[in-house]
Chain A
């Protein structure tokens, strides 16, 4: 009997388990980091009692979520009400399989090469955009099915906002695609490993695209200053007003996973992915240490992005809804088109 296909599938399952566990752990600690950093910005301490410096706080929070009473509103549309958090979390998790966490590594004694990316295929970038666009339904349906006017307003705002900013987000990536000439994320990262691994050419050559991406990504993940769908001063808690216990936790999780995946995409496309300057010169391509440094570097860059998210939350006030729409349609979208025009011209003239 041929064991190879079964081994392959088992390997994939192992990879998915490891990647998802690590990412979920980082996400859990992002919540803690957010509370501590926000505390620092606002001149207070933040949670620091559970474990050393608050290090067990995420698990205490999780326990609290599980033990809370699960309240379902009487007049809610039950099937959709239960479906919505599942859609939100699943869409957030599903994009994680295409990101290259590190370079290909030759294992020292087993004489095999492992790829530090779960699935590598031709349309990886489009897959990310597609799955992200399906994630809107989680929030929109949650708002509708709760049978609560604040939830409904939150859901409506979120779907309008996400449709608007998806355009700017997609268009800001086209400059990168034009320069790389491929949609394969691992290939895009490999293209950035020139200049001793410091040629993160997409931030040097695509600064405009990077800024547009950053702004529309924050809007896509419904974070401050674009967190209109859950603006607590106007809408109680927006689309998740009627959600309690684990179902609320799922929305919470989905938001933070979305932050993480959006940061991973930014790192992959604009910050050179797993490329760490001079790592290849020191350790050599394909060695185990090179792979380790790559993975750590990748995760550090992503954490830098997460810090920017938290920093913004502590610094900026919220937009008004018409300002948000004007900003998206009248400023970001034309700017993204200008960026595409310039990049396409330069690529056509063989300057880039």
Chain B
């Protein structure tokens, strides 16, 4: 039963992984990648690590891939064109390296089977939430904190890069949903320069910037 399930999920994972590379429509690639993540989560469940499986689905399938799909939809990426391969001489190298990799895996598998059987322990609680939490906040506290700081640095770095490339004005607060108005919309005499922009987050601000007389407040209703 377990072997059957393993073959099912492993096959699904490998199939989806191949589809990620082979598909030329970027959205199909993204969907296949979600398939890979979910089949991996199923494999984690079979390895008695339900917490990792849940986190895998929440973080990778549920958050990161949503962003990827979001960007693909937003930019409306067209189907990738088939180009002539410029680095054709690398193909034999790739084949050789793949063969080496498969040989390594085969060697490891065979040596594992040759080694004496280690007795499996009783049902462990290694994969359960409480044991992972205890481990993270006691034994591995320092690596955990360092990883958090690394993530924070990545966020700050992304913001800095976006500001340096003048994609955002230095004063811009990033509020999703705020409207960015190019300066030459407001004053057509200004040079066409789309790096400068004003930000408005309410309708009244937009009206003020565009100098539209808003008379809907003064006119009496009814």
Contacts and interface: CB of A to CB of B under 8 A. Distances in A.
Interface of A: 77, 79-80, 83, 121-123, 126-127, 129-134, 136-137, 140-141, 143-144, 152, 155-156, 159-160, 162-164, 166, 182-183, 321-326, 329-330
B67 interface: yes
**Is chain A's interface secondary structure helix, strand, loop, or mixed overall?**
helix
B176 A159 contact: no
Interface residues of B, number: 34
B63 A133 contact: yes
**Is chain B's interface secondary structure helix, strand, loop, or mixed overall?**
helix
Nearest to A181: B130
Q: Which 7 A-B pairs have the closest CB atoms?
A: A133-B62, A322-B177, A126-B54, A130-B57, A325-B177, A325-B176, A130-B58
Contacts of B70: 140, 156, 159-160, 163
Interface of B: 25, 27-28, 31, 34, 38, 41, 50-51, 53-55, 57-58, 61-63, 66-67, 69-70, 72-74, 128-130, 175-179, 201-202
A133 B74 CA distance: 20
A182 B34 CA distance: 29
A323 to B, nearest CB: 8
A122 B50 contact: yes
**From B38, B70, B179, residue with most partner A Cβ within 10 Å:** B70
B143 to A, nearest CB: 22
Given A156-B73, A325-B177, A122 B128 contact: yes
A133 B53 CA distance: 14
Given A133-B61, A133-B62, A326-B201, A123 B69 contact: no
A162 B176 CA distance: 13
A144 B72 CA distance: 10
A156 B51 CA distance: 30
A134 B31 CA distance: 11
A141 B175 contact: no
Contacts of A136: 62, 66
Contacts of A162: 66
Nearest to B203: A320
Contact of B50 (A123, A132, A160, A329): A123
